[in-house]
Amino acid sequence: MKLIVTAALFFLTAIPACAQAQDLVGDWQGTLSAGGQQLRLVLHITKAPDGSLKATLDSIDQPGANGIPVSSIALKDSKLSLEVAMVHGTYEGKVAADGKIISGTWTQAQPLALEFKRADTPVQPAKPSDIDGTWMGTIDLGVKLRVVFHIAATPEGLTATLDSPDQGANGIPTTSVTRDGSSLKIEIQKISGTFEGKIAADPSSANPSSAGPSSIDGTFTQLGSAHPLVLKRVKDQSELELKRPQNPVKPYPYHDEDVSYDNKVQNVTLAATLTIPQGKGPFPAVVLITGSGPQDRDETLLGHKPFLVLSDYLTRHGVAVLRADDRGIAKSTGDFKTATTADFATDTEAGIAYLKTRAEVDPHKIGLIGHSEGGVIAPMIAARNKDVAFIVMMAGTGVPGDEVIAAQSEAIAVASGKDPAEAAKNATKEREMLKLVETEKDETVLDKELTEKMKASGDVPEAQIGLQIEQLTSPWFRYFLTYDPATALRKVTCPVLALNGSLDKQVLPSQNLPPIRKALAESGNQHVEVDELPGLNHLFQTAKTGSPSEYSQIEETISPLALEKISIWILKQ
């Protein structure tokens, strides 16, 4: 277990305590033991003029983890209660009669025994170095990702942790931090990555108020692929905060409930959130279906939570919403890696069955909303399940996956500024590799031929070739390449709303909307609306180019135009 903290210090909020407050004033030391690791903690308790307690917590074995604010502290009948909101942790302990020991439990995701002893000689952190603190930069991988290093001096030398805030990954441990003069090298074995950079000259001689060097100019290398990375010192915590103004804030004006249900066909338990409108039901309801790749129930991506925003909007407008973690992700069970699109469809069907058990839901008005791959799954289910009242396809495909992927690669390359002729040439090479995956049945021969093609192209670092082949030959990818969505669309008879953004570079509207419209017409379905929404990208954000590199840079999570369109259409059904 690790405390996930930032280097910033905050003012503490004081909670009144009883007359015993003075007894606990001072420093207390304890050690958490989890997973074979030892994490030393120091609790600093002081007394305010009004007699209330306040405190801070140091995690002295973690970089930059000193002065963590204790958001509330209370002492009653020898029972000490702490809340440390910054790291989502709490502590409950009993103070011994002699006032020298506090025995209790620290809870952060799981409960762990933690005993504090009064410190006769408080543990002092090492003398800070001139690069102690938080450093942030951006790597351009086609998608722009922020990288944050927390660097601190310890008695054993420099240490660091790594955050990838746009991917929701925090506190990644580093293997080593080595400094030689102005040269800095940080190795992160867990992700097969290394950062090497030059520390800028300390400007303090010219500016006495300076906090030391302000930048580290270097290169981040992962699996043989090198990318420029300039780290800048973070001076204000607000620089790390993602601006996502559409994220709803509790308390919500509706019922919000964590639930779970079983996919008995494939022995999977799905963990989910059900939101139910205020008022008297039963209400129409939808199951949200995530896009490709491992997704949580909010479809969290690059700091955005599209399904949280969508479910909030729909529930406020009278629609109950069920959204689940993908199998094997977050709190859901099962194996994500071995599953195909068809397997994920059975998980959604389990969600439909669950909604039918809820008295708040009208069982005759349950629909599906699928984004990207979810837009493939929705008609797949509706074609065989007449209990589905309607479906909304958000950037769903209308042609087989091999056509989608090749067109996607070319469009993204051009949107990112590459020469169109070169992008077309690379797309041709990709089509050849995809066709090879589809047709070659001998795994040994396939592996050999793919390796040769990747080495010859020079586009894939040698260290990444094995990983790329593993992805290309996975059960999910093989299924997606050849599956034709039109097969299911021709059998869908319930109302359908199919939407694409005009700037979508992952599922091109020009490639997919006409086949969707054609297949639904062949089914004789008279309740169909197919729309291309101007200026929106694959995530239905208002965009400039539609390139994935913009996703994290855009504050908007889903365009109000798309939210309103979906909500009004559903309520008309």
Structural domains of the chain, ranges and CATH numbers in brackets: 21-118 (2.40.128.120), 133-233 (2.40.128), 255-399+484-572 (3.40.50.1820), 402-481 (no CATH)
Residues paired with 164 in a beta bridge: 169
Alpha carbon distances (Å) from 145 to 170, 229, 353, 549, 550 = 13, 11, 39, 9, 10
Sorting pLDDT into bands at 50, 70 and 90, what band is 19?
A: very low
Examine the pLDDT at 49 and tell me if it is beyond 50.
Answer: yes
Neighbours of 153 (CB within 10 A): 18
Residue 391 has pLDDT above 70, yes or no: yes
Edge-to-edge order in the sheet of strand 283-289: 255-263, 268-276, 320-324, 283-289, 361-371, 391-394, 496-501, 528-533
Query: Which 3 state secondary structure label does DSSP give 33?
Result: strand
Share of the chain above pLDDT 90, in %: 62
* CB environment 455-493: b (16+ within 10 A), e (fewer): eeeeebbeeebeebbeebeeebbeebbebbbbebbbebe
Residue range 345-350: average pLDDT?
98
> pLDDT at position 15, please?
29
Report whether 192 contacts 222 (CB < 8 A).
yes
Q: Greater confidence, 47 or 10?
A: 47
Look at the block and give the residue holding tokens 């009242």: 389
pLDDT value of residue 60: 78
Pairing of strands 283-289, 361-371: parallel
Specify the residue for token string 């909010």. 298
pLDDT, average across residues 226-246: 87
Please state, in angstroms and as integers, the Cα–Cα distance from residue 538 to each residue in 123, 249, 504, 528, following that order.
Answer: 52, 25, 4, 21
Distance (Å, whole) CA 36 – CA 22: 36
Phi, psi of 474 (to 5 degrees): -70, 155
Task: Tell me the mean pLDDT in the region 352-371.
Answer: 97
pLDDT value of residue 14:
28
pLDDT tens digit sequence for 134-175: 899 999 887 888 999 988 887 778 888 888 888 877 778 888
Name which of 320-324, 419-423, 454-458 the model is least confident about. Answer: 454-458
Q: How many residues are there in the chain? A: 573
**Residue 43 tokens, joined:** 């609790």
Residue 416 has pLDDT above 90, yes or no: no
pLDDT at 271: 97
Q: What is the mean pLDDT of the chain?
A: 88
Question: Rounded CA gap, 285 and 356, in Å?
Answer: 10
Percentage, residues of the chain above pLDDT 70: 92
Is residue 224 predicted with pLDDT exceeding 80?
Answer: yes
Is pLDDT above 50 for 503? yes
Q: Is the pLDDT of residue 36 over 60?
A: no
Asked whether the predicted pLDDT for residue 13 surpasses 80, the reply is no
Q: What is the pTM of this model?
A: 0.75
Judged against a pLDDT cut of 80, whether residue 20 lies above it is answered with: no
User: 502 is written with which tokens?
Assistant: 């005009």
State the Cα–Cα distance between residues 538 and 311, nearest whole angstrom: 18
Widest CA span in the chain: 83
Q: What is the identity of the amino acid at 89?
A: G
The per-residue pLDDT for 22 is 45
What pLDDT does residue 21 have? 43
Q: How far apart are CA 71 and CA 92, in angstroms?
A: 14
Confidence of residue 211 (pLDDT cuts 50, 70, 90): low
Q: How confident is the model at residue 254 (pLDDT cuts 50, 70, 90)?
A: very high
Interval 519-523 mean pLDDT: 94
